[in-house]
């Protein structure tokens, strides 16, 4: 047997390293083989359903949530919409394009003035929908995830856990994977997650990452599951539907790529009205969001995700060619002797 040891350290007894490695390998394999508990699929028993919505930036989360929350309020539900994106644009459509003062900005101003933050400083309402923005730091001046954490700390001081809502909808940016944006999943702050995606690779990549995060925290004892996917700007090509099938999550709604929807959304108009053309679509979405149980997703591998698209779309004919040291240095590479000391077992 040959034991490799770097220069300067004492040699181990023959066989000791192998035994330790075998024991560690067996322990890790045993841990990996333990399946987490199944996601709770029964009726949600908490009086308030807290739902985190994730998706790629620009995919239409804010559009979907503004119309969804408005429809829920029109159905007689008490709804709180919380924007958890540093862009602070979740509530802009709901409020006709007007910017909502953020919790982060308001909290800073109040502290400088020696005053406490009150509900009326950060929470506003329209037609039965209550809404607020957590906000984020200016570009280059802080961590967006830390801003999210600070925002929720402020909400807790304002009595977040005593508020009496039927639904609390959290709009989270899915592109970012730091701890602050994963807060609802990591800390069981919500009962279920919904992803907004479209028939494009990048949005489905983000959706798959969210499913992976849910699965990861399930293995650490978490209880959050995925309730489903909303397909926005659906052009009928079917990639998002195929993703949902393989991941084992339901489609809650498919919002078509329609010029009327695009135009009205761009002019900050709510289309999720009971008496409007798109009312039935958002009424069904509201019911599906309320009823969908959290399920345990089955995240796709990178190759499986790419397999949802045609080869000319993702370039699967490309072959990975290993680089050489000559490529890196631009000259012929001369192998130098290693300083590693090799001890032969007696």
123 CB neighbour count, 10 Å cutoff: 19
The residue whose two tokens read 């700007």 is: 233
Rg (CA), the chain: 25
Would you call 188 a catalytic residue per the annotation? no
Would you call 275 a catalytic residue per the annotation? no
Would you call 125 a catalytic residue per the annotation? no
Q: Which residues contact 49 (CB under 8 A, 6 or more apart)?
A: 166, 167, 168, 191, 192, 290
| Residue 58 φ then ψ, to 5° | 85, 5
Stated as kind and residue range, the H or E segment containing 169 is strand 167-173
Distance in angstroms (rounded) separating the CA atoms of residues 169 and 224: 15
Distance in angstroms (rounded) separating the CA atoms of residues 344 and 146: 53
Distance in angstroms (rounded) separating the CA atoms of residues 249 and 225: 10
Catalytically annotated residue among 121, 166, 175, 200: 175
| DSSP H helices in the chain | 16-33, 61-74, 103-112, 119-122, 144-157, 183-186, 201-219, 239-247, 259-266, 279-291, 302-306, 311-314, 325-329
Catalytically annotated residue among 77, 87, 110, 125: 87
| Residue from 112, 66, 111 nearest 85 by CA | 66
Would you call 56 a catalytic residue per the annotation? yes
Catalytic positions, please?
A: 56, 61, 87, 175
């Amino acid at each position: 047997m040959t034991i490799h040891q770097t220069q300067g350290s004492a040699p181990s007894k023959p066989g000791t390293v192998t035994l330790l490695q075998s024991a560690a390998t067996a322990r890790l394999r045993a841990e990996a083989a333990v399946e987490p508990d199944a996601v709770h699929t029964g009726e949600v028993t908490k009086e308030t359903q807290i739902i985190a919505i994730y998706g790629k930036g620009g995919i239409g989360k804010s559009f979907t949530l503004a119309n969804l929350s408005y429809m829920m309020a029109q159905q007689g539900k008490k709804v709180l919409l919380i924007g958890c994106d540093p862009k602070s644009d979740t509530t802009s459509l709901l409020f006709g394009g007007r910017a909502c003062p953020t919790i982060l900005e308001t909290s800073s101003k109040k502290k400088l003035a020696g005053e406490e933050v009150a509900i009326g400083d950060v929470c506003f309402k329209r037609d039965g929908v209550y809404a607020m923005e957590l906000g984020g730091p200016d570009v280059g001046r802080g961590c967006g995830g830390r801003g999210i954490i600070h925002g929720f700390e402020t909400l807790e001081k304002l009595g977040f856990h005593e508020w009496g809502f039927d639904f609390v909808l959290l709009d989270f940016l899915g592109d970012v994977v730091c701890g602050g944006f994963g807060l609802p999943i990591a800390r069981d702050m919500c009962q279920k997650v919904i992803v907004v995606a479209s028939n494009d690779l990048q949005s489905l990549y983000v959706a798959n990452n969210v499913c992976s995060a849910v699965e990861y925290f399930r293995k650490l004892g978490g209880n959050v599951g995925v309730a489903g996917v909303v397909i926005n700007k659906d052009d009928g090509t079917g990639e998002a539907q195929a993703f949902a099938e393989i991941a084992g999550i339901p489609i809650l709604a498919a919002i078509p790529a329609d010029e009327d929807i695009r135009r009205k959304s761009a002019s900050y108009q709510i289309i999720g009205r009971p008496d409007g053309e798109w009312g039935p679509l958002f009424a069904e979405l509201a019911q599906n969001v309320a009823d969908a149980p959290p399920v345990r997703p089955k995240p796709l591998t990178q190759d499986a995700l790419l397999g949802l698209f045609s080869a000319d779309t993702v370039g699967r004919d490309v072959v990975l060619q290993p680089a050489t040291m000559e490529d890196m240095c631009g000259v012929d590479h001369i192998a130098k002797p290693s300083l590693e000391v090799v001890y032969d077992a007696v």
